[in-house]
């Protein structure tokens, strides 16, 4: 049975923000479980994270957000695509949804948005999960990806490219994953992607980390070069109480590479363990 409830829009921080909602109200004993707001990466519209939303929705009231300039959220030539604007978006959305408490789960760019938002110490922020955040910034090694990889694949999808065209960019992905990427990638505004990629190298999220007050969990990929052991140690020094979990078999797109390991990495950090459905378990077994 699906946990998907609906897609919807909210006007928050001066723009229309689109999100997908899974699960609805979830309770554990006498205590409400805090809702989860999931923030995807640089070219990942909310729909591409639906398989994760289905699972999270079994335990938590879950909102997957189309970051401005992606998916069905607002995009325009005049829109501010900066990290600060993105961080303000998520906090304004939480207020618009009237969430008294919530947790942020951000992947890649979404993790940097979560850091910048959490720096403000907003009322109601319960927990922050950072999934393989880019650690690039002023004076640091560059983000290990080529901007043209994003730009070229977006251009192909604007021209009607299909899953086989995407396979050249994501050779290890399943047919279903490639189909979703081909379907939704054209909704990523190239200006938004360029601005975010540039921000990976200009925005100093390390300066934000000591200002975080909410509990933090870092989930790091065991493969790939986005975050190294030295980076984990530096972040741990900046956030001494930060919990760290590794997913050894996964690259940067952790739930795509090792979905089971991704859920296990959360443990009970969000207030309850994540329980995959029978359907997701079969998908995980098939992927293995």
Residue 68, token pair as written in the block: 């401005």
Please count the structural domains in the chain: 1
Q: What average pLDDT does the segment 33-38 reach?
A: 96
For the ranges 9-13, 29-33, 254-258, which has the lowest average pLDDT?
29-33
pLDDT at 30 over 50: no
What is the distance between the alpha carbons of residues 232 and 108, in angstroms, rounded to a whole number? 15
Q: What is the pTM of this model?
A: 0.96
For residue 39, what are the β-bridge partners? 106
CATH number at residue 184: 3.40.50.1820
Structural domain that includes position 11: 4-287
Burial class (CB in 10 A: 0-12, 13-18, 19+), 188: buried
Position 32 scores a pLDDT of 74
Dihedral over alpha carbons 103, 68, 144, 201 (to 10 degrees): -100
Total residues found in the chain within this entry: 288
Indicate the average pLDDT of the chain: 95
pLDDT at 279 over 90: no
CA-CA distances (angstroms) from residue 17 to 9, 44, 67, 101, 159? 5, 15, 8, 19, 25
Give the Cα-Cα-Cα angle 95, 97, 99 (nearest 5 degrees).
70
Helix (H, G, I), strand (E, B) or coil at 109: helix
Smallest CA-to-CA distance from 59 within 264, 274, 255, 270 is with 274
pLDDT in tens, 224-278: 899 999 999 999 999 999 999 999 999 999 999 999 999 999 999 999 999 887 6
pLDDT at 288 over 60: no
């Amino acid at each position: 049975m699906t946990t998907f409830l609906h897609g919807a829009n909210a006007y928050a921080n001066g723009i229309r923000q689109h999100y997908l909602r899974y699960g609805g109200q979830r309770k554990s004993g006498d205590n409400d479980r805090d809702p989860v707001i999931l923030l995807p990466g640089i070219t990942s519209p909310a729909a591409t994270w639906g398989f994760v939303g289905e699972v999270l929705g079994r335990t938590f009231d879950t909102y997957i957000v189309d970051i401005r300039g992606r998916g069905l959220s607002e995009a325009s030539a005049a829109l501010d695509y900066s990290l600060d604007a993105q961080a303000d978006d998520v906090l304004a959305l939480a207020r618009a949804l009237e969430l008294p408490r919530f947790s942020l789960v951000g992947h890649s760019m979404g993790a940097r948005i979560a850091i910048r938002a959490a720096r403000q110490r907003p009322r109601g922020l319960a927990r922050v999960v950072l999934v393989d955040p880019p650690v690039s910034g002023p004076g640091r090694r560059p983000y290990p990806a080529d901007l043209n990889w994003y730009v070229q694949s977006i251009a192909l999808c604007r021209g009607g490219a299909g899953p086989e065209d995407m396979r050249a960019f994501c050779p290890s992905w399943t047919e279903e994953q490639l189909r979703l990427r081909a379907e939704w990638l054209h909704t990523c505004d190239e200006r938004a992607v360029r601005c975010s990629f540039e921000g990976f190298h200009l925005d100093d999220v390390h300066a934000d980390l000591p200002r975080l007050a909410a509990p933090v969990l870092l989930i790091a990929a065991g493969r790939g070069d986005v975050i190294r052991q030295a980076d984990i140690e530096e972040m741990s020094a900046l956030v001494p109480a930060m919990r760290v979990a590794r997913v050894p078999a996964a690259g940067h797109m952790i739930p795509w590479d090792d979905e089971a390991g991704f859920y296990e990495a959360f443990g009970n950090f969000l207030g309850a363990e994540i329980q995959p459905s029978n359907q997701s378990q079969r998908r995980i077994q098939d992927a293995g």
